[in-house]
C-alpha cells in the first residue's frame, strides 16, 4: 500500500514528466534553432504548420485525454481490467483517426497553408513540410495516446526514457540532413521534416513495446479489437468537453496566427521564437499540473475526495511558485536566448518588445492550468469547456484582432489579449474548485446520501 501511495505522490509523478516535457521542448527548440539556420522564412512556415498539426490532433486527443483520466480513476478504484480495456480502446481508435488525418494532411497541404493566409512565396516550403510531417500524423496519434495511457497508470518514467532516445535521434538526423554531414544529402527543411517523422516512428515502436505489459494482464494482438460500449461512453463523457476545450484553444490560436500572418513573416517568426522561450518558462509548472491531474484522478477514483481537494491546491501553489521564479529568469535571459535563434534585428526587437508581457502572462496560465486540470481529473470537464468557448474566442481571439490589428498594437496587442484570457479563466476555475461541487456529489454517493442536483457524468464507482 505504501509503495502504491509513493507511486502516485506528486514528486514521483512530476519529475519524469518534467524531464520528458523538457526533452520535447528541446526537440522543438532544436527544430527552431536548426531551421533558423535555413532561413527565418522557414521558421515562419514551421510555426504555422505546427499550429495546423495541433488543430487536427484534437480529433484523437479527445479520446486520449478522456481515456487517461478514466484509467487513473479505474486504477484508483482497483478496477484493473476496466483500466486495461480503456487503454486498448484509446490506442486503437486514436490510431485509426491518426491514419485518416495522415492522408488528409498529405493531400491537402497547400490548401491548408493558404487557408491561414500564408504569404504566397512561402507556399512551396509549407507544402514540403506539412505533407511530410503531416503524413506521419498516425505516429503522433499513437505516441500521444500511448504516453498518456502509460503515464496515468503511474509510470511516468517510461515515456521520459523514450523521449530521451527520440530527441537524440532527431538532433543527429537534423544535423546530418541540414548540413550534409555523415554522408547524408543536404536537404534543408525537407531533412528536418524527414527527421521528425523517423524519430516519431522509433518512439512509437518503443511505447508500444512498453504498453503491452503496463497493466496487470499483458495485452495480446487479439486484444486490439476489444470494444466495451459502456467504457467507451465513459471515455467520451469525459473526453468530448476536453476535445471542445482543446479545439477552442487551438482554433483560436490559429485565428491569432492568421492575424500574425497578415502582419508579415517577421511577426510569425517572432511569435515562434517567443513561444519556445515561454515554454521553457512554463515547463516546471506544466509538469506539476499534469502530475497533479493524475494524482487527483487516482484519489477521486478511490473515494478520497478530501485528499483530492487538497491535492488541487497543493499542485497549483507549487506550480505557481516555480513559474513565478521562471518568469523572472525569462526577463533576465530573454535577449541572449533570442540572439541564438535569429540575427535579424527587426525580429529580435519585435520579440523583446513583448518580453515583459510574456512574463506577466505565465502565472495566470499556471492558475488556469492547475485548477483546470484538477477539475478535469474529477470529470468536471464541461465547466472548462463552457468558459473556454467564451474566453478564448471573445477575449483571446477577439481582443487580439481589436488590439493587434484594429488599433495597430501588433504582436504586443496579441499578448495583452492572451494575458486577459488566461487570467480570466484562471479566476473562474479557481472559484469552481473552491466550491467543490463535484467532490460533494461524490461524497454523497459514497455515503449513500441523496444528492440534489445533476449527477456528474464520470466513471465514478461508489465505495462502501
Sign of CA dihedral 99, 103, 105, 111: negative
Q: Which of 157, 439, 424 is nearest to 301 (CA)?
A: 439
Whole-number pLDDT of residue 460 = 28
Return d(Cα 117, Cα 243) in angstroms, integer: 25
| Joined grid coordinates for residue 53 | 498539426
0.85 cut: is pTM over it? no
User: What's the confidence (pLDDT) of residue 7?
Assistant: 63
Radius of gyration of the chain (CA): 22
Cell of 373: 486540470
The total number of residues written for the chain in this structure: 464
Contact 121, 103 (CB under 8 A): no
Per-residue pLDDT of the chain (464 residues), as tens digits, is 444 555 677 888 888 888 877 777 666 666 667 777 777 777 778 877 887 887 788 888 889 989 999 999 999 989 999 999 999 999 999 999 999 999 999 998 888 888 777 778 888 888 888 899 999 999 999 999 999 999 999 898 898 899 888 888 888 888 888 888 888 888 888 888 898 899 999 999 999 999 999 998 899 888 888 889 999 999 999 989 988 888 888 788 878 888 888 887 788 788 878 887 787 778 888 899 999 999 999 999 888 889 999 999 999 999 999 999 988 888 888 878 777 777 778 888 888 888 888 889 999 999 999 999 999 999 899 999 999 999 999 999 999 999 988 888 888 899 999 999 999 999 999 999 999 877 777 666 555 433 333 333 333 232 32
- Fill in the DSSP letter of residue 412: H
Q: Which three cell numbers stand for residue 269?
A: 517568426
The pLDDT of residue 386: 94
- From 392, 368, 380, 98, select the one nearest 245 (Cα to Cα): 392
Which sign, positive or negative, has the C-alpha torsion 304, 310, 311, 312? positive
Cβ atoms 159, 148 nearer than 8 A = no
The Cα 328–Cα 348 span in angstroms is: 19
Question: Considering only CA atoms, which of 207, 184, 206 is closest in space to residue 195?
Answer: 184
Maximum C-alpha span of the chain: 72
Print burial letters for 219-231: b (CB count within 10 Å at least 16), e (below 16): beeeeeeeeeeeb
- In 3D space, the residue among 141, 195, 151, 154 whose CA is nearest the CA of residue 27 turns out to be 195
Per the structure block, which three cell numbers stand in for 38? 535555413
- Where residue 455 falls (left for φ over 0; alpha for ψ -120 to 50; beta otherwise) is beta
Burial of 182 (0-12, 13-18, 19+ CB in 10 A): exposed
> Do residues 267 and 40 lie in contact, with contact meaning Cβ atoms separated by under 8 Å?
no
**What secondary structure does DSSP assign to 363-409, as a single string?**
HHHHHHHHHHHHHHHTT-HHHHHHHHHHHIIIIIIHHHIIIIIIS--
The angle, 0 to 180 degrees and rounded to 10, between the axes of the packed helices 40-76 and 189-211 is: 10
List Cβ neighbours of 447 (8 Å cut-off, separation of 6 or more).
none
Distance CA 354, CA 304 (A): 44
Structure confidence by residue, pLDDT tens digits, 80-133: 999 999 999 999 999 999 999 999 999 988 888 887 777 788 888 888 888 999
Do 369 and 65 touch, CB atoms closer than 8 A? no
Full DSSP string of 190-250: HHHHHHHHHHHHHHHHHHHHHHTTSSSS---GGGGG---HHHHHHHHHHHHHHHHHHHHHH
Amino acid at each position: 500500500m505504501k509503495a502504491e501511495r509513493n507511486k502516485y505522490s506528486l514528486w514521483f509523478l512530476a519529475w519524469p514528466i518534467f524531464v520528458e516535457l523538457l526533452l520535447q521542448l528541446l526537440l522543438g527548440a532544436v527544430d527552431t534553432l536548426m531551421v533558423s539556420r535555413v532561413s527565418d522564412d522557414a521558421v515562419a512556415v514551421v510555426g504555422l504548420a505546427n499550429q495546423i498539426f495541433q488543430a487536427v490532433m484534437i480529433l484523437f486527443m479527445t479520446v486520449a485525454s478522456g481515456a487517461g483520466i478514466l484509467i487513473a480513476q479505474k486504477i484508483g478504484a482497483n478496477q484493473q481490467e476496466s483500466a486495461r480495456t480503456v487503454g486498448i480502446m484509446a490506442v486503437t481508435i486514436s490510431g485509426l483517426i491518426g491514419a485518416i488525418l495522415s492522408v488528409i494532411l498529405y493531400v491537402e497541404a497547400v490548401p491548408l497553408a493558404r487557408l491561414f493566409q500564408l504569404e504566397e512565396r512561402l507556399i512551396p516550403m509549407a507544402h514540403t513540410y506539412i505533407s511530410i510531417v503531416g503524413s506521419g500524423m498516425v505516429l503522433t496519434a499513437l505516441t500521444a495516446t500511448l504516453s498518456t495511457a502509460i503515464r496515468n497508470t503511474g509510470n511516468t518514467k517510461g515515456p521520459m526514457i523514450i523521449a530521451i532516445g527520440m530527441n537524440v535521434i532527431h538532433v543527429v538526423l537534423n544535423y546530418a540532413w541540414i548540413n550534409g554531414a555523415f554522408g547524408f544529402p543536404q536537404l534543408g527543411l525537407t531533412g528536418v521534416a524527414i527527421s521528425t517523422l523517423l524519430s516519431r516512428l522509433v518512439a512509437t515502436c518503443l511505447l508500444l513495446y512498453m504498453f503491452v505489459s503496463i497493466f496487470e494482464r499483458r495485452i495480446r494482438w487479439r486484444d486490439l479489437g476489444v470494444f466495451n460500449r459502456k467504457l467507451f461512453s465513459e471515455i467520451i463523457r469525459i473526453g468530448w468537453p476536453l476535445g471542445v476545450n482543446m479545439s477552442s484553444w487551438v482554433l483560436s490560436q490559429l485565428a491569432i496566427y492568421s492575424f500574425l500572418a497578415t502582419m508579415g513573416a517577421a511577426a510569425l517568426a517572432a511569435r515562434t521564437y517567443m513561444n519556445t522561450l515561454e515554454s521553457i518558462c512554463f515547463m516546471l509548472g506544466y509538469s506539476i499540473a499534469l502530475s497533479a491531474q493524475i494524482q487527483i484522478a487516482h484519489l477521486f477514483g478511490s473515494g478520497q475526495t478530501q485528499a483530492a481537494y487538497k491535492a488541487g491546491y497543493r499542485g497549483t501553489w507549487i506550480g505557481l511558485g516555480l513559474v513565478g521564479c521562471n518568469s523572472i529568469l525569462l526577463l533576465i535571459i530573454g535577449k541572449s536566448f533570442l540572439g541564438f535563434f535569429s540575427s535579424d534585428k527587426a525580429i529580435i526587437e519585435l520579440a523583446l518588445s513583448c518580453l515583459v508581457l510574456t512574463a506577466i502572462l505565465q502565472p495566470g496560465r499556471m492558475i488556469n492550468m492547475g485548477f483546470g486540470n484538477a477539475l478535469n481529473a474529477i470529470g468536471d470537464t464541461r465547466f472548462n469547456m463552457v468558459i473556454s468557448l467564451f474566453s478564448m474566442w471573445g477575449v483571446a481571439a477577439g481582443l487580439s484582432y481589436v488590439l493587434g490589428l484594429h488599433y495597430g498594437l501588433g504582436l504586443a496587442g496579441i499578448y495583452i489579449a492572451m494575458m486577459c484570457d488566461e487570467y480570466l479563466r484562471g479566476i473562474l476555475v479557481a472559484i469552481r474548485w473552491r466550491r467543490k461541487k463535484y467532490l460533494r456529489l461524490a461524497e454523497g454517493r459514497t455515503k449513500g446520501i441523496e444528492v440534489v442536483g445533476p449527477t456528474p457524468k464520470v466513471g465514478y464507482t461508489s465505495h462502501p
